Amino acid sequence: QVQLVESGGGLVQPGGSLRLSCKPSGFDAGGYAIAWFRQAPGKEREAVSCSSIWDESPPYSEAVKGRFAIIRDGANKTVDLQMDNVVPGDTAVYFCATGPLRCGQFWDKAARFSNWGQGTQVTVAS
């Protein structure tokens, strides 16, 4: 049974850092794309980044480029999202998802991802 479990969310001050983890199980996650999405209250779910061994480099949304990094942690078998220099606009529930083999050109389309975690809340506030 495919499962994704997110962890690491919490309250962080603007300018601070946070690292989220996505722990996949029930399938060989190494061969599949793992993406991070987020959803703020009253807004649509938006893609943040995606990781796949079949893609040259991970894509990032314009909103987080240069501040966030997606990391495949081989030791812990997780796909992490390192969030640096966070801003209040980063406040959202963060989800990891899997489904396709590659991130590819349409990595930001949620409909391509068939399996989702339950999400972890990130709140950026002073």
CA angle 31, 34, 40 (to 5 degrees): 170
pLDDT in tens, 47-76: 999 999 999 999 999 999 999 999 998 888
pLDDT tens sequence across 6-19 = 999 999 999 999 99
Q: Phi/psi of residue 75, each to 5°?
A: -65, -45
For residue 34, give the nearest of 13, 75, 3 by alpha carbon.
Answer: 3
Residue 2 is predicted with a pLDDT of 93
pLDDT tens digit string along 23-53? 999 998 889 999 999 999 999 999 999 999 9
Contacts of 94 (CB under 8 A, 6+ apart): 6, 9, 20, 36, 37, 38, 48, 81, 119, 120, 121, 122
